[in-house]
Copies of this chain bind each other. A is one copy, B any other.
Amino acid sequence: MNASVAIQVLPEASSQEELIRVVDEVIAYIKSTGLNCSVGPFETTIEGDYDELMDIVKECQKIAVKAGAPYVASYVKIVYRPEGEVLSIEKKITKHHK
């Protein structure tokens, strides 16, 4: 696992319910990739291979558009260590959730 990304997708929407519906479709897409992920209040973190993760990041905005958003603003964090391992989601948060 050489990379991890966290993405927040903010679709333009006519109501809070509509915004939540579009974000839920993006989260469903991320989960459908089968990669390990963690859904947080502002962003969803995914871990895996760098190239695959960046393709997923690119697709997230398209999913929001297909779900009906005319405009999307997203915020992405990327960590990448090509030779080795980045800190895993589990290592980062498990101890804090006890």
Copies per complex of this chain? 4
Interface of A is mostly: mixed
CB of B41 within 8 A of CB of A41, answer: no
Q: List 14 A-B contacts (CB under 8 A).
A: A6-B43, A10-B73, A16-B87, A39-B97, A41-B89, A41-B92, A54-B58, A57-B57, A61-B80, A71-B80, A71-B81, A71-B86, A73-B77, A75-B76
A interface size (C-beta, 8 A) = 42
Q: Confirm or deny: A34 has a beta carbon within 8 angstroms of a beta carbon on chain B.
A: no
Interface residues of A (CB under 8 A from B): 4, 6, 8, 10, 16, 27, 38-43, 45, 50-51, 54, 57-58, 61, 65, 70-84, 86-87, 89, 92-93, 96-97
By the criterion CB–CB under 8 Å, are A75 and B72 in contact? no
